[in-house]
Amino acid sequence: MILAISGQALSRRKPLDQVCALFNRLDVRLIELWALNMPGGDPGFCVPECHYEGRDISKARDILSAHGIGVACVTTDGGFNAEIVAQPDDYLAALKKTVDVAVSLNAKLVNNYCYHFALGRDADIIPLVNVLRPAAA
C-alpha cells in the first residue's frame, strides 16, 4: 500500500522540506500539494493562499525529489473562499495555474473545491461548470 497525506494541515506550520522529512519518517510516499506547501507566493492576489502564481515550482520539485515524495494531486481551495468565488476571472486564473502546476509536477489529478459555487443540496452547479470548462480546456 502507498500512503498519501494532505499537506494542507501542515502548510501553515512547516515548510515543504520539513513536511517531506516528516513524511519520510512515517513512510508516506505521496502528498496532496496545496499552494501554501510551496515556497514563495504573490501577496498581490485577493486570496494569495489560493494561488500558485509566484510559487517556486522548481524548488518544490527539488525538495519533493530529494525526499522521494510524489504528488498525488495538486489542490486549490478557492471554492471555500467567498471572496475569490465572487471574482470568477481570478478564480479561473488560479484554477488554470493549479492545472499547470499539476502538469509540471507530474500529478495526474487536480483537486478543486466548489463550496461557495454550489451551496446546499439542490444547488445549481451551472455557475461552477461555467468556471471549470475553460480550465479543463
Report pLDDT digits (tens) over 18-59: 999 999 999 999 999 999 999 898 888 778 888 999 999 999
pLDDT in tens, 74-84: 999 888 888 88
Confidence of residue 12 (pLDDT cuts 50, 70, 90): confident
Domain encompassing residue 82: 4-136
CATH number for the domain including 80? 3.20.20.150
Which runs of E-coded beta strand occur in 1-137? 4-6, 30-34, 70-76, 110-112
**How far is the C-alpha of 74 from the C-alpha of 59, rounded, in Å?**
16
Please tell me whether the overall predicted TM-score, pTM, comes out greater than 0.85 for this model: yes
Contact at 8 Å (CB) between 111 and 94?
no
Rg (CA), the chain: 15
Q: Total structural domains in the chain? A: 1
DSSP secondary structure string, 14-38? S-HHHHHHHHHHTT--EEEEEGGGS
